[in-house]
Amino acid sequence: MKQRYRKQSLARTACFALAIFLTQTAWAQDTSRLEFLNQQMAELVRKGDVNQAIEIAKKSLKIAQDSYGPDHVIVASTMSNLALLYQNQGQYALAEPLYKSALAIQEKAHGPDHPDLAQILNNLATLYQAQGQYAQAEPLFKHSLAIREKAPGPNNSDLANSLNNLALLYQAQSQYAQAEPLFKRSLEIREKILGPDHPDLANGLNNLALLYQSQKQYAQAEPLFKRSLEIREKALGPDNPELAKSLNNLASLYRTEGKFAEAEPLLKRSLAIREKALGPNHPDVVKSLNNLALLYQDEGQYEQAKALLKRAKEIKEASQ
């Protein structure tokens, strides 16, 4: 199954931006306009209006530059926030120079190992990874990880994220021996911090399971997929789209093993959840239709597969 890289949450982006602004008040004489704009941006992101949020972020950057000069850390923060919005829209060419400028400002202000650099390094690395530029991403992930290793306390969520992200980079390059201990350490930290039933733990379990599946270590992958599924169902409820992902992942494992009878009800439930939660014409519904059709093809049930593929095609054509 194709690995999905973890994208930065836009809602968390907005919250992160606000936190940065609030911590900069010791340096700023007047941040009220920036804080107000940042709250607007956060609300737009929550509503899904990312394009308008980008316009607000651009306005914030202009105000910060005019108020504090081009080399102030608040300018670096607003640059990083705008870059992350661009990145989540796939506008990598616009995001990259903003990240680089933000890094240069932070390094000049604080030195190369300050905690404020870690998130920017991580975000720039994920940008390169998304484009398959692994050689550029690796040293940035490592630098971010090294900074967070020095942070107070050996167990924190930022450190767990850095370990997970570097592991994902190695997994994308089939460097499984390097990825596995990073995934495991990230999981240990998250479980210690969040407890055994937190949804973020489900993400880590899923990543490690995919690593084992890629190596055909199906016996190791199955209990991790099952535990991830159980956590999500308990935490999110039976109709959440995230649960559909877990159902699909476990079904994919069973299909790979030829356990078609076990895979079919999982794929059907995944499809039903997506139709109910997202609507009958959502792109994720198309994915579920295709996955179930592939299973029917494997079983020789070609008419059932043909009907599902026809519906998937109709949905895609209607959205174009």
According to the model, what pLDDT value does residue 46 have? 85
For the segment(s) 256-320, the CATH number from 1.10.260, 1.10.3470, 1.10.357, 1.25.40 is 1.25.40
The per-residue pLDDT for range 215-234, each reduced to its tens digit, is: 999 999 999 999 999 999 99
pLDDT score of 204 more than 50: yes
The per-residue pLDDT for range 139-186, each reduced to its tens digit, is: 999 999 999 999 877 668 999 999 999 999 999 999 999 999 999 999
According to the model, what pLDDT value does residue 73 have? 93
**CB-side neighbour CA atoms (13 Å) of 20:** 24
Same topology for domains 1-111 and 256-320, yes or no? yes
* Domain 1-111 class in CATH: mainly alpha
Confidence of residue 320 (pLDDT cuts 50, 70, 90): confident
According to the model, what pLDDT value does residue 18 have? 44
284 token code pair: 């994720």
- If you average pLDDT over residues 36-64, what whole number do you get? 89
CA distance 143 to 163: 11
Identify whether the C-beta of residue 54 lies closer than 8 Å to the C-beta of residue 23.
Answer: no
Confidence of residue 30 (pLDDT cuts 50, 70, 90): low
165 token code pair: 């992200």
pLDDT score of 11 more than 50: no
Between 280 and 35, the more confident residue is 280
Q: To 5 degrees, how large is the angle CA 155–CA 157–CA 158?
A: 105
pLDDT score of 310 more than 90: yes
pLDDT score of 31 more than 50: yes
Buried b (16+ CB within 10 A) or exposed e, 233-249: bebeeeebebbbbbbbb
Identify whether the C-beta of residue 120 lies closer than 8 Å to the C-beta of residue 142.
Answer: no
According to the model, what pLDDT value does residue 19 have? 43
Residue-range domain boundaries for the chain: 1-111, 256-320
Amino acid symbol at 201: L
Confidence of residue 13 (pLDDT cuts 50, 70, 90): very low
